[in-house]
Every structure is written in C-alpha cells, then in structure tokens.
C-alpha cells in the first residue's frame, strides 16, 4: 500500500470527526452559547485576557501543544506494525483527544479561565488538587529524564546537528533582547535566526570538522576510556550533564530572555517540518514496507500501545495549555470547537506523518523487521528511524539525504529542548507549591527548587540501564511518561464528566474515553510492574518497579475519586462560577 | 506578482505573525507592566511613607502620572484611588 493512501484515510477520518462528531458534541453535549461572555471579555486586561481571532488562537494553541512527544511515541509503536498505531492515533484523536481538549477549554472558559488544577480543587476537593500536583510532578520528572536521553541519543547518532542546535541559544538571546528592549517585531529576526541555524546544519553535514562526535573523540565505539566507561556511555554522560547544566540556567532566567524567543523559532520549525514531510510525501508517494500487524513474543501491543503513544492520540498536557492560556483568550464560546478540537487534530496529523515516515523508510519488509527486531530495540532506535524516514520524504523536495537528516534531527532536538526547559521550570514551580502546601519554606527558593528538579532528573535518566551501558536505558522510562500523561488526561476527563453529569447532559462522550484510558493504563502498569520489573518479573528493576507502583497507586486513586463522585448527588456540585 | 496575490500573501504573513506573536506579546507586556509598577512606586514613594530624595523632580511628573496611576489602581482591582493625596477619579 502507498503511504499517501494512509495519509488520505487518516485525514478523511479527522475531517469527518471534526465535521460531525465535534459538531454533535458542541451542540448537544457542551451546548456552546454564542452569547455567553467569555473570560477574555469579562476580565480583559490586554495581557492574559485578550479576545483573539479563532484562527490565530488555534495556531497558537497548536504550536504550544505540538512538540517532540507525538514523534517519539509513534516512532516506537510501529514495532507492532502500522495498523495498531494508525488506528489508535486516528480514533484516539477523534474520540478521546478532541473531546478532552475541547472539553478542558469549555470547562475553563465557563469558570473564569481557571486552570484544571484549580477546577479539580473546586469540583472534587483538596485531595484531588494534591493528586493533580503529584501526577504533574511525576510527569515532568519523566519528561526531563526522557527528553534529556532523547537529545543525547540524537546528538550521538547525528553529530552534525549539534552545532545548529547550540547556535540557537545565542540567536534566541539576541532576539529576546532586541524585542524586549526595542519592541521590535520578532518575525524577521527569528526567520533570519532559522536561516543561520539551517545554514550551519548544511555546513556541518558537509564538513566533518564541524560535527561534534563525542564517541569518536573518546576513542570510538567499544573503546574503554580511562574513567572505566566505554566511549558511548561517556558520551551519554557528557551530553546529559551538559544539558542539565543548560536547563538549570535556562529555566531560572526570565522567560523572555531565552525560552520565548526559542519557542518562537521553534514555531517556524514546526511549520517547516510539517511542510517538508507532507509535501515530500506528496512528491515521493512511498510504499509502506512495514507489515500491518505483527506477531511478537516479547511485549504484546495490548495494552502497551496505549501508553507508548500518548501525545498524538490523547495527552493530558493539552488540558494544561487549554485551561492555562487558551481559555483566557477565547473571543466567543463557539470558537472553542475549532480551537480545542481542531488543535487536537493538528497534533494527530503530526503523529500520523511520523507513522508514515517510519513505515515507508525501509525498502523491504525484512529490513523493517531487522531494524525493529525486538521491543527494546524499537524503543531505543525508533526516533533514529523516524529521522531516516523523514529524510527520505524530504528527498522528494530535492533535499540531499545527509542535509535532510541533520535538519530533521535539529527540529526534533529543538522541540525536545524546549519541552525540557519548560518541564524543568514547571517542576520548579510545583516543588515550590508543594513546599508552601506542606510548610517547607526553603523549597520555595528558586535555586533550591531548580536544584532538586535538575538533580532528581539527572539521577533518574542515569539510573536505569541495560547491558549497553550508562544512559542507554533512558528509553525504559518512556512507558512511564506515557502513563503519567494519560492519567493527567484521565483527571481532566473526570472533571468534564462531573460537569456534564451535574448539568444533566449525556456524559458518555467523556466518561467512555476516561474509563478506557484508566483501564488501559492500569492494565499496562500491572503488566509492566508485576510481570516485568518486580523481583518475580523477567527484568527486575527496583527503580522502575518503585516508579511504576507509584503511578499505579495514582491510577487507582483517580478511579476511586471517580467512583466517589458518582455516588454523590449530581445536583450537589456547583459547576459554574 | 499580481496585486490580489500580493494581498493574499501579505494577509498570510500577517496571520502567521499574529499566531506566533500572541503568547510572546503577553509576556513582554507583563514584563513592561512590572517595570511600570516599579517606576510608579518610585514616583509615588512619599505617599507610601518611603522618603524620596528626588521628590522635587518627581513632583513635576505628577500631572503626567495621574492617568497612569488611574490605570494602575484599576488593574489592581481598586475602583477608586487608594491614596488620599491623589484624586484621579
């Protein structure tokens, strides 16, 4: 089958989902009211609360939620063949993510633009707020560990991408100062920065001296260095330490200095990336060489698929963005359908093209089966295969493969680095909040909180490992990242369900995805924790066992909260402020 | 390029610019607002009991500052001026 067919079928389902399902949800379930006064008008302050055109708001929402996660997950999940991953991304987006993002936006807009955490506190109670805080804490901890590993892995595999990625830092600081001090427009300088970055990527892919290849500096693969570590392990260690020092500095600076201008350049990269991939697909029309389904003996797709692909099918992180900033800028309540639901569809298209890039990357099915020989290999190398596949698609636009690989690696690393920055910053805030909640004033200090965030993340990414040495086990944490992200989505869906039930509406649209998600994550965690990581399992690992157990407890906790809510009188809950 | 094409292109660029500027504008405005608050505090410090060594000069600024002071107390959620000495509303 042709990859283009896969894209067209996926797009068609997305279109039908938006055209009919979201319309039904908007009119019959959420009952959007065009005359309702949105927080953007009610509390208009020109800064946070600003009525914004729906197309502009959609673009903003989409660029805020799309990152490296919808690329990493699907690139691993095609291990079970393209069909399960394709179906989960397409149907998950239409029936779960769309309703979730749309619902979070509506719920927040009808409650003064309050965030999901505040809403959980109000609708369920203080216990739910703490549960929410702890789940976010564990989610950002996983994000830090996983993305530090992802970036190090890409730096080691594609050393030509290093210079361009590091070049982004001074360029972003320059833009930040220019815009802040002189109130200049960011568009032209950021486009110039992007051009400089890509030019350096092109140069680096052609001039070996510009490729920062730590493994060869340390004597090449397999060489044991004087520190006792082999070259690859030492390269991982070096990159992880460098990244952690960088995020420490980046996340303690004011956002306008580095994070925001970097985000700005990355928005261009998202557009460039999507355009290269979809146009490349149109011109190359590659054949899908991966099998549709596949019998494997190590890890079954059911239910692990549902935690391997989180972002791209459904992601709790979107609820944070929808209720954090987007809901405060909604011009009209009716716009929530386009912004929320279509925002989820945008992320779905990114996951879809990732699947297509990987399943068309190999010339024969045997090559695919060799590359994805077992689950551990699929997890460790999935992203590298995505970069290779994306480079093949870019070939359709006459971009040489070496240059294309470097640019795609730069794009993925940039997304991952911004996610890392944001996650460390978020972790710092949460540690401070927990410090306030439990009366530990020292935790509220900026450098103490950041130190704990960076220290625990570094320890986490370096601890798990396999026979390939230090840092090689970072991918083992990916399912835990997926699970915590799904649990966060579970809380938002629970809040939407409570809201709909209190209003006497049909709450099945959010209730069914919630039960499905919670059951799948719980099942997956039991499978992993008991049969894989426990002392009786196949690969005992005390760290993963402990983390998995904590997440399992959280999942059970949410289920119990849900049960408690359903035992209450639905009229007793005040859902509108 | 024909004029309608150019118009469409300009509209597209404008749309794109607005999309990615949205969040950054808010952050810059917040930063500038904080600076403005510090400036206000310096100018009105004597009204709050903080000695101002350059009151002779800041006094001259008062007529210019009334409007901004009014905006500030509205933003802080106070409908009327909180300071007796300043009757902006």
* Tens-digit pLDDT profile for residues A310-365: 999 999 989 999 998 899 999 999 999 999 999 999 999 999 999 999 999 999 99
Q: How confident is the model at residue A465 (pLDDT cuts 50, 70, 90)?
A: low
String of DSSP letters for A155-179 = HHH-GGGHHHHHHHHHHHHHHHHHH
Region A231-259 average pLDDT: 90
* Angstrom distance (rounded) from CA A488 to CA A101: 12
> Does residue B29 form part of some domain?
no
User: Helices (DSSP H) in A360-395: which residue ranges?
Assistant: 365-371, 375-394
pLDDT (0 to 100) of residue A472: 60
Contact A47 B33 (CB under 8 A): yes
Region A498-524 average pLDDT: 93
Whether pLDDT at A469 is above 70 = no
Q: Which positions ≥6 away from A430 have C-beta within 8 Å?
A: A133, A136, A137, A140
Chain B, residues 17-36, CB within 8 A of chain A, namely 17-24, 26-31, 33
Average model confidence (pLDDT) across chain A: 90
> Does residue B57 form part of some domain?
yes
Contact B22 A46 (CB under 8 A): no
> Does residue B83 form part of some domain?
yes
- With beta carbons less than 8 A apart as the criterion, state whether A337 and A347 touch: no
* Angstrom distance (rounded) from CA A192 to CA A254: 23
Contact A64 B23 (CB under 8 A): yes
- With beta carbons less than 8 A apart as the criterion, state whether A256 and A331 touch: no
Residue of A42, A51, A56 for testing the chain B interface, max B β-carbons within 10 Å: A56
Tokens of A393: 């698609």
Please report, for chain B, how many H helices and E strands are present, in that order. 2, 0
Contact A48 B26 (CB under 8 A): yes
Tokens of A18: 């938006």
Whether pLDDT at A572 is above 70 = no
Going by C-alpha positions, the residue among B72, B18, B26 that lies closest to residue A47 is B26
pLDDT (0 to 100) of residue A94: 97
Note whether A263 contacts B: Cβ–Cβ < 8 A: yes
pLDDT (0 to 100) of residue B49: 82
> Does residue B55 form part of some domain?
yes
Q: How many CB atoms lie within 10 A of CB A251?
A: 25
For A182-219, how does the pLDDT look when each residue is reduced to its tens digit (9 = 90+)?
666 778 889 999 999 999 999 999 999 999 999 899 98
pLDDT (0 to 100) of residue B61: 80
String of DSSP letters for A342-356 = HHHHHHHHHHHHHHH
For A367-397, how does the pLDDT look when each residue is reduced to its tens digit (9 = 90+)?
999 999 998 889 889 999 999 999 999 999 9
For A150-170, how does the pLDDT look when each residue is reduced to its tens digit (9 = 90+)?
999 999 999 999 999 999 999
pLDDT (0 to 100) of residue A495: 93
> Does residue B61 form part of some domain?
yes
* Angstrom distance (rounded) from CA A318 to CA A96: 12
Region A37-62 average pLDDT: 91
How is residue A219 annotated by DSSP? T
Q: How many domains does chain B have?
A: 1
> Does residue B64 form part of some domain?
yes
Q: How confident is the model at residue A67 (pLDDT cuts 50, 70, 90)?
A: confident
Q: How confident is the model at residue A561 (pLDDT cuts 50, 70, 90)?
A: confident
Q: How confident is the model at residue A468 (pLDDT cuts 50, 70, 90)?
A: low
Q: Which positions ≥6 away from A90 have C-beta within 8 Å?
A: A9, A10, A13, A14, A348, A352
Quick one: what percent of chain A has pLDDT higher than 90?
Answer: 59
First and final C-alpha spacing in chain A: 53
Residue position matching structure tokens 């935690």: A307
- With beta carbons less than 8 A apart as the criterion, state whether A349 and A378 touch: no
Chain A residues touching B26 at Cβ < 8 A:
47-48, 50, 325
Contact A47 B30 (CB under 8 A): yes
- With beta carbons less than 8 A apart as the criterion, state whether A110 and A102 touch: no
Computed from CA positions of residues A345, A348, A350, A352, in that sequence, does the dihedral angle turn out positive or negative?
Answer: negative
Contact B31 A254 (CB under 8 A): yes
| Full 3-state SS string of A52-71 | ECHHHHHHHHHHHHCCCHHH
Chain A, residues 300-359, CB within 8 A of chain B, namely 325, 329
Query: By residue range, what is the domain housing residue B79?
Result: 50-89
pLDDT (0 to 100) of residue A42: 93
Q: Give the residue, A430 or A370, on which the prediction is more confident.
A: A370
Whether pLDDT at A577 is above 80 = no
> Does residue B78 form part of some domain?
yes
Burial of A249 (0-12, 13-18, 19+ CB in 10 A): exposed
Contact A187 B23 (CB under 8 A): no
Secondary structure percentages of chain A, helix, strand, coil, to 5: 75, 0, 20
Q: Which positions ≥6 away from A86 have C-beta within 8 Å?
A: A6, A10, A352, A355
Which long-range contacts link B58-65 to residues 24+ away (Cβ below 8 Å)?
B65/B40
pLDDT (0 to 100) of residue B45: 81
For A125-138, how does the pLDDT look when each residue is reduced to its tens digit (9 = 90+)?
888 888 888 888 98
In DSSP terms, which residues pair with A466 in a beta bridge?
Answer: A469
Secondary structure percentages of chain B, helix, strand, coil, to 5: 75, 0, 25
> Does residue B74 form part of some domain?
yes
CA distance readout (Å), A249 to A137, A166, A321, A454? 20, 14, 24, 10
* Angstrom distance (rounded) from CA A370 to CA A372: 5
């Amino acid at each position: 089958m042709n990859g283009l067919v896969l894209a067209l079928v996926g797009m068609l389902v997305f279109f039908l989902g938006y055209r009919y399902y979201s319309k039904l949800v908007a009119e019959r379930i959420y009952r959007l009211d065009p005359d309702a006064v949105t927080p953007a008008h009610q509390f208009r302050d020109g800064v946070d609360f600003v009525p914004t055109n729906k197309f502009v708001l959609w673009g903003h929402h989409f660029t805020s939620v799309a990152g490296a996660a919808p690329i990493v997950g699907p690139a691993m999940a095609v291990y079970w063949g393209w069909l399960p991953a394709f179906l989960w991304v397409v149907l998950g987006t239409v029936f779960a993510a769309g309703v979730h993002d749309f619902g979070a936006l509506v719920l927040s807009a009808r409650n003064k633009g309050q965030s999901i955490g505040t809403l959980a506190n109000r609708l369920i109670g203080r216990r739910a707020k703490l549960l929410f805080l702890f789940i976010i804490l564990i989610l950002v901890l996983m994000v830090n560990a996983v993305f530090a590993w992802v970036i190090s892995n890409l730096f080691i595999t594609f050393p030509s991408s290093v210079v361009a990625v590091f070049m982004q830092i001074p360029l972003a600081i320059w833009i930040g100062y220019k815009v802040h001090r002189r109130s200049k427009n960011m568009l032209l300088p950021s486009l110039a920065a992007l051009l400089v970055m890509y030019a350096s990527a092109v140069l680096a892919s052609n001039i070996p001296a510009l490729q920062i290849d730590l493994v060869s500096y340390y004597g090449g693969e397999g060489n044991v260095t004087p520190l006792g570590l082999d070259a690859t392990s030492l390269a991982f260690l070096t990159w992880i330490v460098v990244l952690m020092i960088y995020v420490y500095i980046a996340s303690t600076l004011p956002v306008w200095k580095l994070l925001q201008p970097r985000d700005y350049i990355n928005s261009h990269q998202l557009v460039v990336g999507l355009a290269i991939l979809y146009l490349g697909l149109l011109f190359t029309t590659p054949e899908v060489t991966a099998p549709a389904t596949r019998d494997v003996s190590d890890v079954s797709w059911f239910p692990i698929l549902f935690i391997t692909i989180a972002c791209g099918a459904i992601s709790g992180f979107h609820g944070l963005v929808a209720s954090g900033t987007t809901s405060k800028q909604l011009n009209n309540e009716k716009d929530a359908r386009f912004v929320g639901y279509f925002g989820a569809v945008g992320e779905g298209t990114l996951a879809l093209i990732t699947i297509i890039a990987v399943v068309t990357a190999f010339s024969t099915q045997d090559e695919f089966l060799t590359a994805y020989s077992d689950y551990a290999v699929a997890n460790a190398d999935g992203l590298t295969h995505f970069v290779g596949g994306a480079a093949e698609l870019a070939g359709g636009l006459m971009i040489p493969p070496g240059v294309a690989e470097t640019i795609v690696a730069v794009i993925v690393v940039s997304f991952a680095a911004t996610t890392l920055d944001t996650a460390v910053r978020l972790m710092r805030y949460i540690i401070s909040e927990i410090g306030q909640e439990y009366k530990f004033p020292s935790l509220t200090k900026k450098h103490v909180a950041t130190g704990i965030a960076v220290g625990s993340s570094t320890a986490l990414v370096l601890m798990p490992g396999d026979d390939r040495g230090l840092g090689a086990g970072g991918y083992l944490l990916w399912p835990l990242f997926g699970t915590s992200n799904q649990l966060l989505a579970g809380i938002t869906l629970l809040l939407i369900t409570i809201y709909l039930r209190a209003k006497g509406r049909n709450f099945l649209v959010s209730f069914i995805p919630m039960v499905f998600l919670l059951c799948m994550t719980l099942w997956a965690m039991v499978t992993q924790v008991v049969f894989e990581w426990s002392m009786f399992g196949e690969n005992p690992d005390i760290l993963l066992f402990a983390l998995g157990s904590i997440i399992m407890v959280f999942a059970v906790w949410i289920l119990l909260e849900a049960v408690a809510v359903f035992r209450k009188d639905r009229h007793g809950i005040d859902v509108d402020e | 390029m024909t004029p309608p094409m150019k118009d469409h292109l300009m509209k597209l660029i404008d749309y794109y610019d607005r999309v990615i500027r949205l969040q950054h504008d808010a952050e810059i405005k917040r930063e500038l607002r904080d600076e403005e608050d510090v400036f206000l505090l310096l100018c009105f410090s004597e009204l709050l009991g903080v000695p101002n060594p350059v009151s002779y000069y800041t006094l001259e600024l008062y007529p210019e500052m009334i409007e901004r002071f009014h905006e500030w107390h509205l933003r802080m959620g106070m409908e009327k001026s909180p300071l007796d000495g300043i009757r902006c509303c």
